[in-house]
Copies of this chain bind each other. A is one copy, B any other.
């Protein structure tokens, strides 16, 4: 893995103090320890702290610690408190936090009159379904965007300290204002969460048997509805303004489609519905694809028996054919002992993939150049 952080020298120097030894804090600790950075851990929970230290994410604090960087990795609702305390306790250190909302802690600190020269809010776009020190992993941040919020007071040297942290962890630093960040995550993360949850909640009131018609579409649309309520209440409350703005716009769009459907033969009704679907086409095409590009891939669908080794044989033979798999989705046929592997490949690789697989006896259920 040529991109692995352990393969290059650390840019982070001196001691790093991490407050909050949960998933993010402990993961940062593990990654820095792999690069021989001195890491001090702190947590309000002695057992969480002990676990993180036992797993190798850092060491206990000492009175003579002089961290150059403090990373606050605590829940959003206590972020401002902890940032303020750390700025006061470590007057030489740059202090950053990793909370998933950026304006609220900043505003709250400013309201309290805290000098924010050494504070640089940040947010690594990384996470896992399970939290806690026990789920931490050193490679959690590799390849992920890591938003860094500078303002006019920020000194270039301090900004460089936080960006070096992101780079050391394999992430990609991305400068934004707190406002830009919060509007962006409202749109790309917080509102999708609310929508997926509410849509999934509707399924709970379904008549018996009616969910047997559920296919891949509703499954994908509701997947993230499995997220933990406690954390999301905090995130949504802390980013309420931007989230409400998008939710209200969405509720009004919903009403418009709903009104059009109430009288589908009224003038303009079908056009309203078609426009909604068409604008959706446009929006989804704007999402960055693999490697941050909007590349278009071709797809082929291969039938795969549900036995060990079948996917291995398929991907092994694709490798022999020199075909790189750009994306992949397994579809299941309820009740059947096989699945459909929906494979994305570069356009110039499609023909060779289809012909090569067919020659080796695979059943190709379809491809986008049919």
Contact = CB atoms under 8 A, between A and B. Distances in A.
A125 B215 contact: yes
Given A332-B327, A333-B143, A363-B1, A370 B135 contact: yes
Interface string A195-223: 11111111110110111111101111111
Interface string A235-251: 01100100110111111
A241 to B, nearest CB: 9
A203 B283 contact: yes
A188 interface: yes
B200 A334 contact: no
Contacts of A209: 176, 180, 184
A315 to B, nearest CB: 4
Contacts of A316: 309, 312-313, 315-316
A306 interface: yes
A322 interface: yes
Interface stretch (A81-89, A154-162, A252-260): A252-260
A107 interface: no
Contacts of A213: 125, 145, 147, 174, 181, 184-185, 188-189
A54 interface: no
A194 B258 CA distance: 10
A320 interface: yes
B335 A280 contact: no
18 contacts: A1-B305, A130-B366, A130-B368, A135-B366, A139-B363, A170-B336, A195-B221, A201-B279, A202-B253, A217-B223, A217-B224, A220-B221, A225-B277, A229-B274, A236-B273, A237-B264, A240-B262, A325-B330
A225 B125 CA distance: 24
A232 to B, nearest CB: 5
Contacts of A329: 329
Nearest to A220: B220
Contacts of A44: none
Contacts of A189: 213, 215, 217-218
A75 interface: no
A143 B276 contact: no
Interface stretch (A11-19, A66-74, A284-292): A284-292
Interface string A280-319: 1111111111111000000000010111111111111111
B142 A333 contact: yes
Given A223-B284, A337-B3, A247 B253 contact: no
A292 B214 contact: no
Interface in A306-362: 306-325, 327-330, 332-339
Contacts of A363: 1, 139
